Amino acid sequence: METRLFIAEENKKRLDVFLSEQTEEFTRSRLKKLIGDGNVFINGKQTDKASAEIRVGDCVRVDIPEAAEYTAKAENIPIELVYEDSDFAVVNKPQGMTVHVGNGNESGTLVNALLYALDSLSGIGGVLRPGIVHRIDKDTSGLLVVAKNDKAHVSLAEQIAEKTCHRTYYALLEGNLKKDSGRIVTEIGRHPTDRLKMAVLPEGKGKIAITDFESVLHFGGDYTLCRFVLQTGRTHQIRVHAKHLGHPVVGDPIYGYKKQKWNVNGQLLHAQKLELTHPSSGERMTFTAPLPPVFLEVLQKLSRQYGVDLTEIGDLFG
């Protein structure tokens, strides 16, 4: 067990806020669990209250238990394989599925399903992330590529790093996105006070994030269907950039509006198109996946409400 000690230099600060400022590698939720499990002490006295008040000179001790060992196991979970050969597979991940095993996600992940469905996976990602070259958020649907051997994994990872693997997303945004197209260039990093979030940060405080966007359809002044192309791959990048534009993704539980009109159980964000070069043959390949039913249902309702013709996006319907 690892133990850390911190001395407070400010008065009247919540314990969880104080610790989040001292331990950047831990999310607020992780810290709250440590506190709730009785692993935090103020001046030698155990506390389980995240809201406990810290004063100048207080000594805060955090006992960090050894990390639990997880091993991904094969599970017979239905998944949609868009393409598969001896080098890689392309999967259409459903909304609500976590990509890989981790703390709190020991089963039901895409990796669990892949271990059952495929005859091999690359080992570069280790025992928890076999085959995983890149990720998409749990509540984002759509395409991702999975490597079946290490050579393919290296090639695919290099394509993503060198921006020759193109990833196109569609999102329904709140409000009327007035600019038809553009490029968002910011730095993104962990939110300074809420460790569960990412945020646009001042220059030099985060990692460069570049997203191209284009308005596809407007539904009055209330919603915009928007196409995004990632030039970098930061955590929550499109969701953070959409909020930065002032038009968060509909249904986004972290960056969106607190009151949601639509019962969609997550953000309406879909990885619709994936373009890459085959690791062995060098052939340029393109894969697409139609918008999921919940996304299409919302668009059809908006189409009727606002009199918007959906013909021009017919290819998104499959």
Tokens 């249902």: give the residue: 297
- Identical topology for domains 2-64 and 80-161: no
Annotated active-site residue 137? The verdict is yes
Under 8 Å between Cβ of 238 and 228: yes
Confidence bin at 24 (pLDDT 50/70/90): low
pLDDT digits 0-9 by tens, 138-174:
999 999 999 999 999 999 999 998 989 999 999 999 9
pTM of the model: 0.77
**pLDDT per position as a tens digit, 65-85:** 765 555 678 899 999 999 999
Tokens describing residue 212: 């191209």
**Residues 179-228: tens digit of each pLDDT:** 899 999 999 998 988 877 999 999 998 999 999 999 999 999 999 999 99
Q: Give the CATH number of domain 166-317; options: 3.40.50.1820, 3.10.310.30, 3.30.2350.10, 3.40.250.10.
A: 3.30.2350.10
Q: State pLDDT tens for residues 131-140.
A: 889 989 999 9
- Cα–Cα nearest to 127, from 69, 79, 81, 65: 69
Domain 80-161 of CATH type 3.30.2350.10: yes
Task: Return the domain boundaries, the chain.
Answer: 2-64, 80-161, 166-317
Tell me the C-alpha distance between 100 and 129, whole Å. 6
Token reading at 175: 């409000």
CATH of domain 2-64: 3.10.290.10
Residue 147's alpha-carbon distances to 55, 94, 107, 273, 296, in angstroms, are 51, 19, 20, 18, 30
pLDDT tens digits for range 247-262: 999 999 999 998 888 8
Decide which of 144 and 28 is more confident.
144
Tokens encoding 153: 């994994």
Its sign, for the CA torsion 309, 313, 316, 318, is positive
Per annotation, catalytic residue among 16, 137, 139, 252: 137
| pLDDT at residue 28, as a whole number | 67
What pLDDT score does 219 carry? 96
